[in-house]
Structures are given as C-alpha cells and as structure tokens.
Structure 1
C-alpha cells in the first residue's frame, strides 16, 4: 500500500511527518542517537526486515537526517550518523520517551530513563517555553499565519482565532 505524501501540505507538522512520521523511522533515529551506526546493528536492535530498513535509511539520508560516513569499496553504506538536522530531533525523542514513560509504562515500570550524561540525573520534562523563558500550558498557545500561509490557511486560522475568542 502506497502512503500519501504530505510534503506539499502547508502545515509544518504534516511536512515533518512526511519525512519522520513512519514508526520505523523514529526508531532508526533513536538508535542513531544511542550510537548505532551499521546496517546490521540497526537490523539486530530493531528486528526490522532488511528491505524496510534499506528504504528507511535511504529516505533519512535523502532527507538530510542521516549521512553515510563510510562506504565499502563497492559503494555500500557502512556507517550512518546523524546530521545537524537529525540532531535537532533530540527534543522530539526526549518528549516522546517522557510521554511514554508517563502514559505507557510496562507493568514492571519505566524501561529507560533520559538522563544527563555527566551526572546521571533525569532531564527535566520537556515543556513549551515562552520567548521570555516561562513555561506555557496548551491553553496559553495558539497558531497564527506565517508569511508563507496561503489565503485558505489565513482564513482557517482566522476562524480558529474567532472560536478561541468566543471560548475565552
């Protein structure tokens, strides 16, 4: 089954999901954060079929999230590493892990903790912060049209703002 591409959608969440929204993809990125570099290691740690792994790795390389850092003499990728763009996914992975630990723990409890490397202390829960540095709750944020918004997007967001004003 062919999936629908979100790459042309105006929503930045949809465009992001077009690249990283398939479940194997974020698990591959997680493995890369944990130090997995080689195809066989990804396959062993994830239990993913080789053809699916090849497709996802290629997509992550094409999308600029992973880079091939060494190749065999016949041109096969030997090692994959996160690019700066890939490293910027760290807060998303931390937020997912923290959410999962809170809302979907195993019966035996949390299986992994996200900690500061030097101290071993748990990192603080990911929160949305204002530009001035104070935490924001979902009710404190909204969406506004940016310079690239279409007229349909602007109209939809204006309607959203009207609904929010009526609620307040």
Structure 2
C-alpha cells in the first residue's frame, strides 16, 4: 500500500502543471535544442551539428517550440543567400533555465564520468561557481523535498468534479 499525504484523495491531478509542461518539453531532442539555445546557438545548421538531431526531428522540434512560445523566429540573410530564420529564446523559454540547470546538476551528480562534470557554470561577473538553491518567501533555505509541504492551489480541482465528468468505470 502506498503512503499518501493528507487530502490527496480529495483532489484530482488531471490539470497537473508538471504533466502540462512535459507535453511541451518532455522529450530528449527538445531539451538538447534548449541547451543549445541557452548557449547562444541560433541557426538550424549549427543546432543540428551540436545536437546530432536528424533534420526532420530538429525541424519538428523547432516548429513546436515556436508554436508553444519558447522560441521565436528571427529572419536573417547571408549575402547572396536566401532568407533563413534564427531561433531565439523568448521570456517563456528563458524561464526554463533553472529547470535545465537542475537537470544538468542531477546528471553531474549521478551520471557523470569519473573525471567529473563536462560543463561548469560560473558567474560571468566574478567567475565563481553558480549554485542553485530553494528559499521560501520568508528567506529560509530549503535543504530538500522533505522540508516542503504541497498544498492545494487556486487551480486545484476537487476529485468529485472528476467523477461527475466521467461515465464511470
């Protein structure tokens, strides 16, 4: 039998923010495209070379990221060439940076080679290593998930509404 938190049975999760986010970014090539965009790679050929993504896959991912509002297309033209598009992060895309850093840190901790992590993040202003921390609104540092209590938010839907909308099992 699994352990549940108080009130878990009273609410449904079909409007879960994690699930919704994963419908947009929950795929390997998407994260690799975003990784490159955060490094400043903007052009299709450069992104393809950096990610190793097949042309059709990369094209589909870029199109989806533009449609979802994480990237925007900016036209450019090299002298004597046809017009092409660069892909730049939008504010919505930039908001994913902490998630990518957290994923990278997890990989560094659990999956890196014996030599250590392949990339180190440092502060451009002083060169010190970048750290990622959680704090509550009152400024207390959160050491881990056992110090966090999930509570229903304003968008949480009562479980009874889920049953009312279903035809039964």
TM-score by length of 1: 0.79
Aligned residues: 146
68, 72, 83: which is aligned to 1:67?
Answer: 72
Report which of the two has the higher share of helix: 1
131, 135, 139: which is aligned to 2:141?
Answer: 135
**Partner Cα separation in structure 1 for residue 44 and residue 160 of structure 2:** 41
Instruction: Report the CA distance between 1:142 and its aligned residue.
Output: 2.0
Higher relative contact order, chain-length normalized (CA < 8 Å, sep 6+): 2
**Partner Cα separation in structure 2 for residue 46 and residue 153 of structure 1:** 45
TM-score by length of 2: 0.78
Residue in 2 aligned with 1:22? Answer: 27
Q: How does 1:78-93 map to 2 (within 5 A)?
A: 78-93=85-100
Larger radius of gyration: 2
Alpha-carbon RMSD:
2.4
118, 137, 157: which is aligned to 1:111?
Answer: 118
Consecutive unaligned residues of structure 2, counting only runs of 5 or more, are 1-12, 163-169
Consecutive unaligned residues of structure 1, counting only runs of 5 or more, are 1-7, 156-168
